A and B are shown apart, each in its own frame.
Chain A
Amino acid sequence: RRTLMLKFLHLADLHLGAAPTFLGDLAQDRALDYLDVFQRAIDYAVEPSNGINFALIVGDFFDVAHPSQDVIRFTVNQLKRLAQAGIPLIVTPGNHDGIGAPESIYRDSSINSLMKVIRSPQVEHFDSMVINGEVVHFYGMAWDVQSKPPFDVFHKREEDGYHIAMIHGTLKGGLFTEGHSREVPLDLDNLAKSGMDYIALGHLHKFQKKDAGKTPVVYPGSLESRRFSPGEDGDRYLVVVTLDQPQSAIINQFKWNKKSLISEKLDLDQELIETESELSEMIQSKYGSKNTLLKLTLTGSPPFVIDIDALITRLSGDIYWMDIADNTSAFDSVLAETWSREETIRGLYVRKLKQRLDAAESIDEKQKYQLALKLATQAFQKSSRKK
């Protein structure tokens, strides 16, 4: 029936201005990545050949409710580009940039003239626009203290055109959900009754697509990962949606992230590694990249005792940021085994520590003796190297 089609960017969780504190000195450098991926998304949108008609940002556009002036200036510039290209932008505030927060960015007129912000505390019809010859009805809400569930009933207008809902919320059964004080619980069954043509969600940072009845329900995920938490690792995608008939969306994903968060466990029992330098080489070959943020947990019982600080120092030039946790069992190493047979002080030390380890009941306590052995081993080896 419809001959015209709509093509739009479905963005969410951009977290502009984020500078994750766990990165320490790198936080400010990392902050640029979020701006960079957003700028590239705008590049994509304004490129006429891509045929983008409008763009949605479904929550957490900014990392905080009142971002820095630099971030605002940058954003204003990008939004001006969208406006110049005639691409409407509809934004709903999220839990990070809540509209009810003190000094909310959404009260800043310099930026609000460049986008349409959903401000209703309850889900309701927000606006209807004629875009590319089609009437598009937008629905959504911006969480506020007055917001009351249910959040997944839309009171659809019985009018022709596409009906698109935008909610920054947590879908029951979605991947990597998180609880927070501004929880907006969504139920797929309720969404199915909405009669929407497309439900654009935000909040969960991993791309996921579900079908609520016939309605496509999509989390585009973030463009750049933020912290090491479930669903944050792996690639991020720019989601381009094409609607050419009701309740049928073609979703195109483009890998978009600049850096990747990799959170992995490495079982050294499964690897043929005999020395620390071999371990270092192996990690380097597996993960070595200036665009990698690595959180590695070493397990198993390598023949040697790992000196984590030395290992990180050795790898620091090859990986953007890393945190390596040594959960290996030092007691099971050949080194400890050998030392424990010695009639020396270190032999006695290992034996005594082993006794404590065997008597320990909690995992924490066992970990403590493991670490005590590792540290003492390094101390003995260092004392030897000093000579």
Chain B
Amino acid sequence: MLIKKVVLKGVGVFNDHLIQFSDGKINVIVSENETGKSTLCNAIAAIVYGFPSKSEADLRRSWDYNGEYKGRLEIDLNGSLISIERNFENNNVRMTKITAEEEETLFIGDANPKGRTEEPRAYRKFLDDLGFPPETVFLSAIYVGQLDVEIEIDDELRQHLSGAGKADYLNALNDLVKQYYSLTRQGLPGDNPKRLDKKLEEMLAKKDQLIEELRNAQLQGAELVKTENSLEDERWVYQETINKKNKIESEKSALDEYLNLLIERDSLNQRIKLEEEKKKQREDLVRTISDLERQLIGEKFSIYNSLSESSLQDLEKYVQSDAEDISREIQKIQSEENQLNSELNDPRFAGFSDIHEDIGGVIKELSDEKRNLAELEKRSTNFAESLKTKPPRWLLFLALVFMGLIGAGLGVTAILLIINNHSIGIALGLFIFGAFTGVAATVLFIIQSNRIQKEKEKQFELKTQLEEKQNTYNELLRRIKPILQMADENSIVFEALGEKWEQYKQKRTLLTKLIERKEVLSPRALLNIRTNPEIRPILDSASAAIIREQVKEFRSLKTRLETNKDNLGKISNLHDSSNTDKPPQDRFREIVILMDQLTKNYPNLIVYKENKNTCLIQQNRLMGEINQLSTEIKNIDSNIRNLEIRLGQLRISEVRDLQLVQEEIQDTEDAIRRLQDRTSALSVGIEVLKDAIKEYEENHISRLSKIVSTNFSKFTHGNYKRVEIMPGDYPKIYTKKERCIEPSQLSAGAKDQLFFAIRLAISDILSSEMPLPLILDETFVNYDQRRLDLVHDTLNTLVTTKQIILLSHDSRYKSWADTLINYSSPSNS
């Protein structure tokens, strides 16, 4: 596209202006600041695309011009001359193709850039078909504003690839990622999750918490209602149980009273019966007593009755003993006694009566001792005899001394022989023999001395034993001395003596027994009784056997009389002691009345009237029931207390109203939904943007590198061979010697050349279907002359392929101009 002509009416300072451009040349417009250079640039885009908004359009409108507000652009588009005319008031556009012969209308109608109706859409589509890039790209590709001294090639590149304006796709991407991670900790595809929870997780946690709260509140509410109901139930049950217990207790107390009455009634009944029985007994006793008394004073027993008790007892004693039989036996015993006495007084038993102990054992002992003594005496005599037969002791000792002297003599001889140097052998022999003889004599001497000592000791021992035995024997002998009389002790035959003693002992024992029996059989009392004047006539009146029977009978009657009198006395005493009470019959009547009254109030008591045991059973049963109810009441009371405590706990616990929690859950869910929508939109946005960046780079970067390389090589006259555009990094520049350098290593002039190379390449890529002119608006205002010269050189190379329009207030550029344009005066075209 080549700009041929621009006509502006009522646009900024351009009230009615025509500006014409030439192609293949540098078009220079030198004008003071604030004289519409920017307006011109904007107006060119605005004619094609319209002002971005109504307010923008209003802003650009000339304030001192009342005429039309429009613009027209004539361009050469692939050899065709196209005219675009736009009314800025209403955005109506008329596009025509101008040939020598005619003007062909291509579009006429509403071309509002924000228009959403068919026509503006159609216009935009039409521009697209003609190869116009979108307005944003158009402006970005066509327009180069003031450059900094240092050009950040990398930023510039990214911004242009991102889209027109100063947008930066990496910044945009980072922004989306940052936004995403401000919402959630979940990792984007390929990323690890973040450590800390973010809004979304916080909201989810809050929701969980709220749901938990809701659940708790529901549970608590339910529990509270349940507890209240349970409490009410328990209180009711408590009251019911208390009532039941009270009822049973009153029933029991009635029963207790009834039972007491029953017991008293029965006891009274028994007492009455007992008293009747006693009365009868007493009557019987009185009768028996008078009967007995009558008998005792009767003919048969009157004689006994008149006796004193002691006389009666004597009589009994007498008649019970057999006095005549006894006197006969006594006589017989007497004769036997006499016989025995004479036998014992026999001379052969002389002295026996003086011995009072049983000496049978002693006699036997004496017999044994006499034998032992004789034996010992014999042994002692034998020993003394054996000693007499041995040689005298002094002779033996003499022989031994002699042997000792021989030994000593031999020893001395041997020593002398040695001293006088005679044969040592003989001397030694003599010496040994002498020594042996001496030693043997000594040993034999000692043995003999010992033997003599022992014999002496044995002799002494025998003597002592003999003396002891003799003493024992003499002692024993002394004990039986009286019966020995004058007899020589050596002539005594102890065996015969022992037999005689046994005979004497038997007789004496028999005699003692007879004397004892005689003593028993002859009580003098019986004889006295018979002489008692009270008793005598009775004994005389009848035989002892008859009297015995009669006394026995009398005694039995009298005992019976005493017993009956005693019993009568006892019965009377019993009767007296119970006489202090009210008469039992009166109390009995009272009790019957009381029982009747009770059964009126408690009719079921009537069944116990004649059954105390059943009543007792019932009493125990009621007692059991009362105990059981008391336990139940205690338990219920404890339940109630527990429920009251729980109720208190539930009531004071901070639980929010269910409705409010539900509402907050709903609000939280809304917030979560929004956050989820936003995170998933961000996630997909990031994914698609990354995808777009990757695809874009794959499709365009190598082509871009190629175009930039060609341009840069051309601008630097081959000093640099090629440029590699690296997405997200500095471009790499290769010198003609293939040395790789970074843009920062380039000189300022070379950087400018690289900048233009890139700008042109981007322009080619962004607007591939339509090569666009380049409008340089005060672009180099910061440059020094040397750098400016280099730029001029570059532009001169560039202008062969691209229309260049340079706007500046600086008159230095006038010299660059192939076409110098002056718009200070309105045109009349």
Contact = CB atoms under 8 A, between A and B. Distances in A.
- Chain B interface extent, by class: 35 or more
B374 interface: no
Given A21-B664, A303-B114, A375-B685, A383 B171 contact: yes
B657 interface: yes
A14 B169 CA distance: 54
A275 to B, nearest CB: 5
Most buried by B among A21, A100, A343: A343
B205 interface: no
Contacts of B692: 345-346, 348-349, 352
A341 B225 contact: no
Contacts of A64: 656-657, 659-660
B315 to A, nearest CB: 113
Contact of B651 (A96, A102, A373, A374): A102
A374 B176 CA distance: 11
A344 interface: yes
Contact of A375 (B114, B116, B179): B179
B124 interface: yes
B405 interface: no
B284 interface: no
A376 B689 contact: yes
Contacts of A371: 677-678, 681, 685
B766 A352 contact: no
B134 A345 contact: no
Contact of B172 (A227, A275, A338, A379): A379
A255 interface: no
Nearest to B768: A343
Given A343-B137, A348-B695, A375 B171 contact: no
A368 B681 contact: yes
B418 interface: no
A346 B681 contact: no
Specify the main secondary structure of chain A where it touches its partner: helix
B113 interface: yes
B660 A346 contact: no
A352 B695 CA distance: 10
B114 A372 contact: no
Nearest to B650: A102
Of B159, B650, B656, B688, most A-chain CB atoms within 10 Å: B688
Contact of A372 (B124, B655, B684): B684
Interface string A355-387: 010000000000111111111100111111011
Nearest to A145: B225
Interface in B641-689: 650-651, 655-657, 659-660, 663-664, 667, 670, 677-678, 680-682, 684-685, 688-689
Given A102-B224, A334-B116, 7 more contacts: A64-B659, A65-B657, A275-B53, A343-B700, A375-B176, A376-B685, A383-B169
A370 B116 CA distance: 18
B221 A387 contact: no
B18 interface: no
B163 interface: yes
A64 B225 CA distance: 17
Contacts of B684: 356, 368-369, 372
- Which 10 A-B pairs rank lowest in CB-CB distance, beginning with the nearest? A383-B171, A371-B681, A372-B685, A64-B657, A303-B114, A387-B166, A346-B163, A344-B163, A379-B172, A384-B167
Interface string A264-305: 000001000011000000000000000000000000010100
B655 A342 contact: no
Interface of B: 53-55, 113-116, 121, 124, 128, 133-137, 159-169, 171-173, 175-176, 179, 220-221, 224-225, 650-651, 655-657, 659-660, 663-664, 667, 670, 677-678, 680-682, 684-685, 688-689, 691-693, 695-696, 700, 765-768
B677 A334 contact: no
A22 B667 contact: yes
Nearest to B656: A64
A344 B164 contact: yes
The interface size bin for chain A is 35 or more
A139 B355 CA distance: 143
Contacts of A369: 681, 684
B663 A21 contact: yes
B663 A342 contact: no
A62 B164 CA distance: 59
A72 interface: no
A335 to B, nearest CB: 9
14 contacts: A64-B660, A96-B659, A102-B221, A102-B651, A269-B116, A275-B55, A342-B136, A344-B162, A346-B172, A352-B692, A353-B685, A371-B685, A374-B681, A375-B685
Given A342-B137, A345-B693, A375-B176, A384 B166 contact: yes
Interface in A93-119: 95-96, 100-103
Contacts of A126: none
A317 interface: no
Contacts of B664: 21
A352 B663 CA distance: 40
Contacts of B114: 274, 303, 334
Contact of A353 (B225, B667, B688): B688
User: Which of A22, A349, A374, A382 gathers the greatest number of chain B CB atoms within 10 Å?
Assistant: A349
Interface in A10-36: 20-22
Contact of B168 (A102, A348, A375, A387): A387
